[in-house]
Structure 1
Amino acid sequence: MATKLWTGVYPAATTQFTADDKVDIEATKQVFSALVDDGVNGLIILGTCGENNSLLPEEKRAVLTAAVEAVGGKVPLVTGVSELTTARAIDYARDAEAIGMDALMVLPAMVYVPTPEELQAHFRAVAAATGLPVMLYNNPPAYRVEIDVATLDALQDVPNIVAVKESAPDPRRFTDLINRYGDRYQVMAGLDDVALEGLMLGASGWVSGLTSAFPRESVALVAAADRGDWVEARRIYRWFMPLLHLDAEHDLVQSIKLAEQIMGRGTERVRMPRLPLAGARRAEVTAMVEKAAATRPLEVAAAA
């Protein structure tokens, strides 16, 4: 593979649907392939933007198989593990490994808010069921569970829990985690509108939502950060920021898929209970994407 795990840009890729609400495997493959062709360093398959919890078990396995067929071996493939129970998460983790995923992004069990002991037990059980490396996903605003330092302290003896996707909106977390753990856990920026702050503070890479619509700019942003060109990184980030704020909203999936559609990279179809954006919100997001498309910073730099 061209890149190793947990470095660079990993878009949380979307799952595409047909007009009659079936998973559109061919369109989903095209989304995956186009992102890789545009230079991303890995893919998150069936994360939040992939509508993991809206898919049936057999649909999830079909999407993983499609990802391996489309881009397996070209970049690392990481799948979200987002299930109602630990037993289902174990089954999914085992199947994902057998299908050919390279790593797992493990969430707390859905709906139920666990005690710290329950959270640790869930992560331990899923990690023990697979030989794949595991990244824990910390997103307290979305999932009402914080993966705090006490939990990370307790899990240090689990050898294949190796990374944390940090989506808390407080950039101080990056420094606190790196100070506390050194290189024990790789830390990836996971919230789009704190991504540059995370990279500047030592995040090894970026799990991104809006990369699905603007991958080349995302790759250029991380490349600038990697080479210490903060002037260029800030220039791209400031252009991107109105769209990046969408990643912190509850309708992020609809907004990102609408952005993909406008940019000719997919459709805005989502599975209920989500509905496509409508009315003033749709007009607002459309205007934001169209403005971004008209002022793309790489084209501006090339023209200069």
Structure 2
Amino acid sequence: MSLNAPSWTGVYPAATTQFSPDGALDVDATQKVLTALVDDGVDGLVVLGTCGENNSLTPEEKRIVLKAAVEAVGTRVPLVAGVSELTTASAVQFTRDAEAIGIPALMALPAMVYVPTPEELFVHFSTIARATSLPVMLYNNPPAYRVSIGFETLDKLVPVENVVAVKESAPDPRRFTDLINRYGDRYVLMAGLDDVALEGLFLGATGWISGLTSAFPQESVALVKAFEQGDFEQARAIYRWFMPLLHLDAEHDLVQSIKLAEQIMGRGTEHVRLPRLPLQGQRRAEVIQMVENAANNRPNIVR
């Protein structure tokens, strides 16, 4: 495993991939987004996840983004690459490409489009893991991907040593307790749904993989720092201020909303790639108002 493998603690933004107005990949802008987040104190970065519009990129573009991330960030913080493919074979190829490029960890999603059985989930994940020496985090997000990584699958993955963590994005926080009761510390748990992040930390998650951190990284880092230091009053205050925006992470237009928030905060652009379109009409106005309200009422934090 890489010497820069994640500790799975702190804040890991699910970073966006930047595009030009015509939809072309903008490597320079993507690198600027990544380095700015690191400068603001995040503990790691997830690239080519949902917010990274993984499935809107060609295989070559994905390799370009990974190389650009390694070039921009180096070993300042760990990089985690999303593995989001239509087939297991293409997931294995991407995994090998990522390892060769120098990415130190992976986040494996269920195969896109197809809704698998528990046995098919196990075969998909175990095949990915056995194709690499890198640590693998599983991404459980039933609302988005129409399947839950249940006990039947996780039981069978216990012997697969490099499956080390779960990004838990189920909307029910009881899932954290159920997983810890069943597996103890076998799987590291990362809170993965922004508007139950603090609940996840209280229930045993060791860190937070966040969408809205891309727009407000300093407050995200301060929230987790306050929690880790036992300053729960400060953590709750930041969380309550943040919550209207954090709810955006649970919506189907989360990518457009997060990119619009980045643009308002001067951290990126709202350009997305088809089939996504930038937010329009009333929805756009609502998100702009939410971001501006948050920006105008930012909490006092000590970095």
TM-score category (smaller protein): over 0.9
Q: Which amino acid aligns with 2:218?
A: R
Q: Residues 169-214 of structure 1: CA distance to partner in whole angstroms, max 9, x if unpaired?
A: 0000111111111111000000000000000111010000000000
Which segment is superposed worse, 37-46 or 146-155? 146-155
Cα deviation, 1:194-252, whole Å, max 9, x if unaligned, reads: 00000011101000000000000000000011111110000000000000000000000
CA distance, structure 1, for counterparts of residue 24 and residue 272 of structure 2 = 10
* 2:220 aligned residue: 218
Change in CA separation of 1:283 and 1:37 when aligned onto 2, cut-off 3 Å: same
The worse-fitting range, judged by mean Cα deviation, of 242-251 and 108-117 is: 108-117
Q: How does 1:1-304 map to 2 (within 5 A)?
A: 4-298=6-300
Q: How far, CA to CA, are the matches of 2:274 and 2:243 in structure 1?
A: 28
Instruction: Compute the TM-score of the two structures, normalised by the length of structure 1.
Output: 0.97
**Aligned-pair distance for 1:140?**
0.4
CA distance in 1, matches of 2:284, 2:10: 31
Listed as ranges, the gaps of 5+ residues in structure 2 are none
* CA distance in structure 2 between the partners assigned to 1:254 and 1:78 by the alignment: 22
Provide runs of 4+ in structure 1 moved above 3 Å: 1-4
Aligned 8 A contact 1:3 1:75 in 2: no
Secondary structure, in 3 states, of the residue corresponding to 1:164?
strand
Counterparts of 1:263 and 1:224, CA distance in 2? 23
TM-score normalised by structure 2 residue count: 0.97
Q: C-alpha distance in 2, partners of 1:3/1:20?
A: 36
Q: Give the match's secondary structure for 1:78.
A: strand
How far does the alpha carbon of each residue in 1:14-59 deviate from its partner, in whole angstroms, 9 at most, with x for none?
Answer: 0000122110000000000000000000000000000000001100
| Per-residue deviation, 1:2 | 9.0
Matched-pair contact (CA < 8 Å) for 2:10–2:43:
yes
Q: Which amino acid aligns with 1:118?
A: E
**Matches of 2:55 and 2:83, distance apart in 1:** 10
Q: Report the AA paired with residue 232 of structure 1.
A: Q
Aligned-partner Cα distance in 2 for 1:16–1:287: 23
* 8 A Cα contact 1:43 1:75, kept in partner: yes
* Letter paired with 2:212: L
Tell me the SS of whatever aligns to 2:300: helix
CA–CA distance in 1 between the matches of 2:89 and 2:5? 32
CA distance in 2, matches of 1:114, 1:278: 34
Instruction: Give the drift of 1:298.
Output: 2.4
Report if the CA contact (8 A) 2:4-2:75 is conserved: no
Partners of 2:66 and 2:101 within 8 A in 1: yes
For structure 1, list consecutive stretches of 5 or more residues without a partner in the other structure: none
